[in-house]
Structure 1
Amino acid sequence: MAKLDHLGITVDDVPAASAQFHPVLHALGYTRAHDEEDLAYWCCPGQPEILLDPARAAGTGPHEHGRVGWQHLAFAVDSRDEVDRLHALALDAGWTAVREPKEYPRFTKSYYASFLEEDNGIRIEVLHNPDGWN
């Protein structure tokens, strides 16, 4: 069975994007690693590497949610309090709240999540869903 190995995210300005991504990814257990071409974040065994790569042409962003391409990346956490904590941490790092933390009973009876977007239009979801997809 195949598994997701890495996720590359194109941004206009890698250092500026890192300033927004780093606090969130660090809180999720990722470690930042540098090389000459991009910025990589590594986590735990079995979790994909996340890469921040510079756009080939400057000024081509931001990504527009709902257009063909990126939708969002969802991170499952251990509690509703952790959703709230990460949401606040992302806001402090300059992310914009798309949806404040709340329940989503249309997904499952225990689904609780927030949605955030950074300056390049990259959207993440932080969720707690203890009952799974039952």
Structure 2
Amino acid sequence: MPRALHHLDLWVDDVATAEGEWGWLLAWCGWQREDGMLSWVHADGTYLFMEHSSDQHGEHDRLRPGINHLAMTVETRDELDRMRAESTERGWHEMYADRYPHAGGEEHVALYVENSEGFEVEVVVGD
């Protein structure tokens, strides 16, 4: 079966900060950094490219029309717990901490984090 998503272009305001925040999170979720580029590739072939564009205007606001958040996966609850423990020092703020790991419902095991530019990522255990 072909991959469902070919690639993502992520426009960021501060490339250096975003590279550290996103690079850490993507590595946790199994993405590999491509040499010499601001891009990461997943084992299924999907890739994410990061840049700051002169065409950008205004700040990112996930609550306006557009993509609200990305959801990625890790294989185990142990990985999710370790990711949660490290997330703050890596620039990600935990959302819904009082309901971890079931903020999405009792049958759903996930961590919700937001970075310094307001991008939200939901990290789900398994498929």
TM over 0.5: yes
Cross-structure match for 1:85: 82
The percentage of counterpart residues that share the same residue type is: 26
Query: 1:9 and 1:118 mapped to 2: Cα distance?
Result: 13
How many residues were matched structurally? 123
Distance 1:30 1:105, change over 3 A: closer
Taking only aligned residues, the RMSD between alpha carbons, in angstroms, comes to 2.3
Cross-structure match for 2:118: 121
1:88 Cα deviation from its structure 2 partner: 2.3
Distance 1:105 1:11, change over 3 A: closer
Distance 1:2 1:25, change over 3 A: closer
Distance 1:11 1:78, change over 3 A: same
Q: Determine if the alignment matches structure 1 residue 95 to structure 2 residue 83.
A: no
Cross-structure match for 1:49: 47
Query: 1:6 and 1:58 mapped to 2: Cα distance?
Result: 19
Stretch moving more, 6-15 or 88-97: 88-97
- Which stretches in structure 2 are left out of the alignment for 5+ residues? none
Which has more helix, going by share of residues? 2
Partners of 1:86 and 1:126 within 8 A in 2: no
Distance 1:49 1:96, change over 3 A: same
Write out the 4+ residue segments of structure 1 that deviate beyond 3 Å after TM superposition: none
1:5-16 counterparts in 2 under 5 A?
5-16=6-17
Query: 2:4 and 2:104 mapped to 1: Cα distance?
Result: 29
Give the partner amino acid of 2:4.
K
Partners of 2:3 and 2:46 within 8 A in 1: no
1:99 Cα deviation from its structure 2 partner: 2.1
Query: 2:84 and 2:49 mapped to 1: Cα distance?
Result: 21
User: What does the per-residue CA deviation read over 1:74-107, in whole Å, with 9 as the maximum and x for residues that have no partner?
Assistant: 112222222221222222201111222321474x
Query: 2:8 and 2:91 mapped to 1: Cα distance?
Result: 22
Classify the secondary structure of the residue corresponding to 2:67.
coil
1:22 Cα deviation from its structure 2 partner: 1.2
Which has more strand, going by share of residues? 1
1:3-42 counterparts in 2 under 5 A?
3-33=4-34, 34-35=36-37, 39-42=38-41
